[in-house]
Chains A and B, each alone.
Chain A
Amino acid sequence: MTNNILELDHLRKNFGGVVAVSDLSLNIAKGAISSLIGPNGAGKTTIFNLVTGFAQPSGGHINFSDRRINGMKPHAIAGIGISRTFQNVQIFPNMSVLENIMVGRYLRSRAGMLYSCIFPPILRNEEKRIREDAEKQLHFLELEQYADTPAGSLPLGNQRMLEIARALALEPGLLLLDEPASGLNARETIAMGELIGKIKEMNVSVWLVEHDMDLVMDISDYVAVINFGGLIAQGTPAEIQRNPEVISAYLGG
């Protein structure tokens, strides 16, 4: 058993002739907050899509907890413990906040499709348990007062919190956050940073793509920098901030 929860091994992705990810090898440490930064179009979101099964790699491998996951479907990858949020919030706007989280707990419930068709009374207990779990989740994110509100009518900051809550409802080992602070104001960004810290304390490894450098440098244990789909540098935030290559390619730009 290694100390890495996720290993990318010579990962490649081409879209036609365009190389989005080129020969990327990168490890994500277990129990830590890792960040992935790079200029726009560097391939960050593509890497997240490859890891979560929304896109298939053109070459190379992805291992999660020493298990090869490339080629698996998104719902199967979610099933083994990788959860994610999107850059533009993906929630179920016309379902209530509580229902959004309950759907996130679907995989952790025993109520399979056949099962729930055959045993409706048992299902109701199941439903109650899921509801209680979801309420705990809401409490953790301090969103209780919105439980019955349609998710689409929440302010953006709370929608992001909700998306994270739904992702956490899956009880993932690894949580990928795609620009969690984009569109948030300063106060909301600070709250987001605190939340990510709390998630780490829950023993969930976090991998973050973010443009807000203050946030990244503040909360990350490790930072990796990519450009044109390839790795430029990796290390602790302090090392990255001193790295001349990074400064010229990105920070100093």
Chain B
Amino acid sequence: MNPAEANLVDLVQFFFMGIQRGCIYAMVAMGFNMIYNATGIINFAQGEFVVLGGLMMVSLTMALHLPIVLAFILTVLFVVVVGVLMERLTINPVKQPTVLRLIIITIAVSIITKGAAMMFWGKGSHYMNHFSSAEPLDFHGATILPQTLWIMGILLLVVAAYVFFFNFTMTGKCMRACSINRDAARLAGIDDRKMVMLSFALSAGIGAVAGIIITPVIQMDYTRGAMLGLKGFGAAVLGGLGNSTGAVAAGVLLGVLEALGAGYISSHYMDAIALVILLFVLFIRPSGIFGSSEAMRLKEF
């Protein structure tokens, strides 16, 4: 293999690694957006949904030996219930909901969830079997894990379901209506509090899916939530808050940039790279690369 070819293989390898992580950031960012659109707040417990999804899946498949499909469904349901409980118990009862108050509540929920996860699953990191073979596939000299293909495929499915839900179902249309103009939506008889609850449920569900599919490649532990949440938040901002197609593109982009940085500069700086990108976006184009500045001005946050 000559040096030019070797360089190309490296590049492709970094690219695969980036896509794998980027898909996860994209899903976390979609979760952020869903709650942001319904309530105007950033849910800092979003990363915790991912962790809960991963850890629950580990318990169901590795300890209880349930089949993957069944465990997948049960795990998503479990995290959805956690999301709904979070909204009903901590967000809904707030007498005078302001953006700041609600955000601080989500930080509290994230700390509590993290603590509970530590008590239940312990401090160690948890290994989980890959969905199919763990043998890397050869791709012109570079390798790709079958799990990465699963991650990409499931992201596509989630995006398709998302688009279908918001454009072709009445409930989805009503959620959009509620985020565009809450007063008009209430007049049309839409219960806005119910839509907020639904946004937490969906957002928790997407978080759970992200946690489930990434756990075989990163080994989940209870502290992972903060960093996953932060990267997902970066992707959401990069894509323009509230813009979910932007979030998917930005998530994948962020993952790839991070992997390239880790590969060509130093893997020590991997987390820093994503955050530096986030800072630059906030300095230069706070509405995100895919967001319109006009839409941004209309939002309260």
Indicate whether A and B interact: yes
Tell me the B164-199 residues at the A interface (CB within 8 Å). Answer: 168-171, 173-174, 176-177, 180-181, 183-192, 194, 198
Report A63-106 CB contacts with B as 1/0, cut-off 8 Å: 00000000001111011000110100011111100011011101
Which residue of B173, B176, B187, B192 contacts A52 across the interface (Cβ within 8 Å)?
Answer: B187
Question: CA separation between A111 and B101, bound complex, in Å?
Answer: 34
Tell me the A158-192 residues at the B interface (CB within 8 Å). Answer: 163, 166-167, 169-170
Residue of B nearest to A83 (CB): B187
Tell me if A92 and B183 are in contact (CB < 8 A). no
Tell me if B169 and A166 are in contact (CB < 8 A). no
Tell me if A113 and B189 are in contact (CB < 8 A). no
Question: CA separation between A83 and B186, bound complex, in Å?
Answer: 10
Residue of A nearest to B170 (CB): A111
Question: CA separation between A152 and B241, bound complex, in Å?
Answer: 21
Q: Which residues of B contact A76 (CB under 8 A)?
A: 191
Question: CA separation between A103 and B177, bound complex, in Å?
Answer: 7
Q: Which residues of A contact B181 (CB under 8 A)?
A: 90-93
Tell me if A78 and B188 are in contact (CB < 8 A). yes
Tell me if A95 and B169 are in contact (CB < 8 A). no
Question: CA separation between A163 and B183, bound complex, in Å?
Answer: 13
Q: How many pairs of residues, A versus B, come closer than 8 Å at their CB atoms? A: 91
Question: CA separation between A104 and B198, bound complex, in Å?
Answer: 19
Q: Which residues of A contact B168 (CB under 8 A)?
A: 124, 127
With contact pairs A99-B173, A106-B170 given, residues A78 and B184 touching in the complex (Cβ less than 8 Å): no
Q: Which residues of A contact B183 (CB under 8 A)?
A: 54, 74, 86, 90
A96 to chain B minimum Cβ distance, whole angstroms, is 10
Question: CA separation between A169 and B174, bound complex, in Å?
Answer: 14
Most-contacted residue by chain B among A52, A74, A95, A116 (CB, 10 A) = A74
A210 to chain B minimum Cβ distance, whole angstroms, is 19
Is A126 part of the binding interface, using a Cβ–Cβ cutoff of 8 Å? yes
Is A123 part of the binding interface, using a Cβ–Cβ cutoff of 8 Å? yes
Which residue of A86, A103, A127 contacts B188 across the interface (Cβ within 8 Å)?
Answer: A103
Interface size class of B (residues with CB under 8 A): 20 to 34
Which residue of A75, A83, A170 contacts B192 across the interface (Cβ within 8 Å)?
Answer: A75
Question: CA separation between A170 and B185, bound complex, in Å?
Answer: 12
Q: Which residues of B contact A130 (CB under 8 A)?
A: 170
Tell me if B187 and A106 are in contact (CB < 8 A). no
With contact pairs A90-B181, A95-B177, A103-B177 given, residues A109 and B170 touching in the complex (Cβ less than 8 Å): yes
With contact pairs A90-B184, A95-B176, A95-B180 given, residues A103 and B169 touching in the complex (Cβ less than 8 Å): no
Tell me if B190 and A75 are in contact (CB < 8 A). yes
Is A195 part of the binding interface, using a Cβ–Cβ cutoff of 8 Å? no
Q: Which residues of B contact A100 (CB under 8 A)?
A: 177
Is A107 part of the binding interface, using a Cβ–Cβ cutoff of 8 Å? yes
Tell me if A103 and B187 are in contact (CB < 8 A). no
Which residue of B185, B191, B192 contacts A103 across the interface (Cβ within 8 Å)?
Answer: B185
Tell me if A106 and B188 are in contact (CB < 8 A). yes
Tell me if A116 and B169 are in contact (CB < 8 A). yes
A112 to chain B minimum Cβ distance, whole angstroms, is 8
Q: Which residues of A contact B170 (CB under 8 A)?
A: 102-103, 106, 109, 111, 116, 123, 126-127, 130
Tell me if A91 and B184 are in contact (CB < 8 A). yes
Question: CA separation between A86 and B171, bound complex, in Å?
Answer: 24
With contact pairs A54-B183, A116-B169, A116-B170 given, residues A107 and B188 touching in the complex (Cβ less than 8 Å): yes
Question: CA separation between A220 and B173, bound complex, in Å?
Answer: 36
Question: CA separation between A115 and B199, bound complex, in Å?
Answer: 16
Tell me if A74 and B186 are in contact (CB < 8 A). yes
With contact pairs A106-B170, A116-B171 given, residues A78 and B176 touching in the complex (Cβ less than 8 Å): no
Question: CA separation between A123 and B164, bound complex, in Å?
Answer: 12
Question: CA separation between A116 and B173, bound complex, in Å?
Answer: 12
Question: CA separation between A73 and B176, bound complex, in Å?
Answer: 20
Known: A79-B189, A120-B169. 10 other contacts (CB 8 A): A75-B187, A86-B183, A90-B187, A91-B184, A92-B185, A104-B188, A107-B190, A117-B171, A127-B168, A170-B189
Residues of B within 8 A of A (CB): 168-171, 173-174, 176-177, 180-181, 183-192, 194, 198
The list of the 3 closest CB pairs from A to B, nearest first, reads A107-B189, A78-B189, A90-B184
